[in-house]
Chains A and B, each alone.
Chain A
Amino acid sequence: MTKYNPNNERIKQQYLRYLKSARGRSEQTLDTVAKALYRFEVSTRFRDFRRFHVEQAIAFRRTLGEATASPETAKR
């Protein structure tokens, strides 16, 4: 079961709806955005978006830099 924060999910739902309806983004783009937001939430341990702090974003970027490629990708 995927973990989630209900308040964040509502905000994400509205944002994805905006991207689709107002900005005309494709379904693949929405999937990518949803996945990226999920990765950010994992790094903040699903804290409420309303309690957003710059430090969370900085820490997230650091984890992205530290993320190592899977053994299959590293071979290429």
Chain B
Amino acid sequence: MKRQKGRSNRHRIKALRNYTIAETSLLVGVHRRTVREWIKRGLPVLDQKRPLLIHGSDLKSFLANRKQRRKQPCQPGELFCVKCRTAKVPAGGLADYIPISPTRGSLSGICPTCNAIITQWTSLARLNELKGKLDVKTLTRQPRIVDPLVPILNCHLEATR
């Protein structure tokens, strides 16, 4: 499976084991130079002897902290803009709610900085909390181009019987 950029596989690290830089890079799925960069940025090593060893518990907590630092939780009334990479209040405090089910739907607005559409999944219960913070207009879901009246039967399942 291809690893997503910026995401390291920290669940494979064992807390009671020690890893060399090469072992860490193989385990976590990053380049050796990246591990050296982490050391420069504060990842603790056992001591200054060679080969440098990294304790599993240190590596785990370092990567967990790093992930936590990157998170930018949205406050009520804010939506995350993927382009600006920050939480933003939609332009003019306007947002549209499009329900996809009786309890859930998507909230979308326009980013005040880059004019991109910013969207967030939300529930009807959370939508009520936004009253007073955002001017939310409830829209109806756009109809599908082809709306099949007869549901598709699982033909493949029939064929195998």
Contact = CB atoms under 8 A, between A and B. Distances in A.
Interface residues of A, number: 14
Interface residues of B, number: 13
B14 A2 contact: no
Contacts, number: 33
Mostly, the A contact residues are helix
Contact of B53 (A2, A13, A30, A31): A13
Given A10-B46, A10-B49, A1 B58 contact: yes
Interface string B95-127: 000000000000000000000000000000000
Interface string A32-65: 0011001000000000000000000000000000
A10 B47 CA distance: 10
A9 B18 contact: yes
Interface string A15-41: 010000000000000110011001000
A30 B19 CA distance: 14
Contacts of A2: 15-16, 55, 57
Interface of B: 14-18, 46-47, 49, 53, 55, 57-58, 61
